[in-house]
Every structure is written in structure tokens, then in C-alpha cells.
Amino acid sequence: MTPIATVERDAKLEGKNMFMILAPRAVPTGPPKFTQPHHDAAATAAASAAIDAKAEREEKKADTAAQNGATEGVISSA
């Protein structure tokens, strides 16, 4: 807890409950907890193109299955 908080009161056990009072450090050590990764435009465009290509392949696969009359999970009672 030392890198992110200072202990104001030590741990105290009362029955099944344990209490400890912490305060945030004025200047936390270590990297920030929530950082946004830096993306360049080319990487973002490439990732978007890959997602679009995958969606198109899945749509084409579904169309082919529909044309072939494939029915998944349907039990015929004959």
C-alpha cells in the first residue's frame, strides 16, 4: 500500500470485520494507474480494416450457409 497510500490508522479487527484507514499519497510513486496507450493513425486504420474484413467474412459465411440450406441446432421430428 505504500506506493499509493499512507496508513492513517493501523488495521483493527472487530469480530469478522477488519478496518484500516488510508489516505492517498500527495505524490504517488510509479506509473499512473489509468493511462491511454498512444496510437498512431496507421495502426488505428489497420485495426479498423481488420475488424471490417472479419465482419465481411462472417457475413459471407452466413450467406453461404443460408444458400446451402444449412440449419444448425434444428431437430427434425420425422
Quote the pLDDT of residue 12.
Answer: 92
Whether the full predicted model's pTM is greater than 0.75, yes or no, is no
CA distance 72 to 19: 55
Q: Is residue 21 part of a domain?
A: yes
Q: Is residue 43 part of a domain?
A: no
Domain that holds residue 5: 1-32
Q: Is residue 56 part of a domain?
A: no
Comparing 47 with 3, which gets the higher pLDDT? Answer: 47
pLDDT tens readout for residues 30-77: 666 666 666 677 777 888 888 888 889 888 888 887 787 755 555 655
Q: Is residue 8 part of a domain?
A: yes
> What's the average model confidence in pLDDT over 1-19?
86
- Segment holding 38, helix H or strand E: none
Number of domains observed in the structure of the chain = 1
Quote the pLDDT of residue 50.
Answer: 87
Please state, in angstroms and as integers, the Cα–Cα distance from residue 33 to each residue in 1, 4, 5, 17, following that order.
Answer: 14, 10, 13, 28
Q: Is residue 65 part of a domain?
A: no
